Amino acid sequence: MTRIILVPIDISDTELTQRVISHVEAEARIDDAEVHFLTVIPSLPYYASLGMAYTAEMPPMDEFKADSEKRLKEVVKQFAIPEDRVHFHIAEGSPKDNILGLAKSLPADLVIIASHRPDITTYLLGSNAAAVVRHAECSVLVVR
Ligand code: ADP
């Protein structure tokens, strides 16, 4: 059976991504694994962070999704993994729920995740990373 690795990517945080690259590449080489990249558009906080009112200013979700997919593909170019073994997923809502949901439905053998944003030093494990470690049914590699 094909080994499946799930890599959730926060496209707003390039530093987090840098830290997981070498680990993902190394794991991907084992048994020629398939690597699934997922980015989640967190609905409300994301709009709020752009300073938008919840009105006509909001671009349609389709546009957000298309833009996020483009940015995710750009980020993934940094990973040296054969193209035919790379898959992309865009979801909307809670990052942790979507990460856990996809891990289960694939089903993933391994999730590779960064522990938290580097600038947030008070937490050893971010809220999404913590939920994935706690609730995933497969192995989780937490990169610090
Ligand atoms: P922090 O709260 O410090 O940002 P998180 O737990 O949210 O910590 O982030 C840790 C990891 O969770 C990230 O490296 C990424 O793998 C995953 N993650 C966080 N947000 C998203 C998102 N919107 N889409 C996909 N993965 C995410």
Mutate to test the pocket of ligand 1, among 128, 134, 135, 144 (most ligand atoms within 8 A of CB): 128
In the predicted model, is pLDDT for residue 6 greater than 90? yes
Residue with tokens 């940015």: 71
In the predicted model, is pLDDT for residue 54 greater than 60? no
pLDDT digits (tens, 9 = 90+) for 57-72: 667 778 889 999 999 9
pLDDT at 70: 96
In the predicted model, is pLDDT for residue 55 greater than 80? no
The token duo for 68 is 């996020």
pLDDT at 92: 93
Number of residues assigned to the chain: 144
Angle at CA of residue 87, ends 46 and 117, nearest 5°: 40
In the predicted model, is pLDDT for residue 19 greater than 80? yes
pTM equals 0.90
CB atoms within 10 A of CB 109: 19
Distance between CA atoms of residues 130 and 122, nearest Å: 14
Minimum-distance ligand 1 atom for the alpha carbon of 17:
14
CATH fold of 4-142 reads: Rossmann fold (3.40.50)
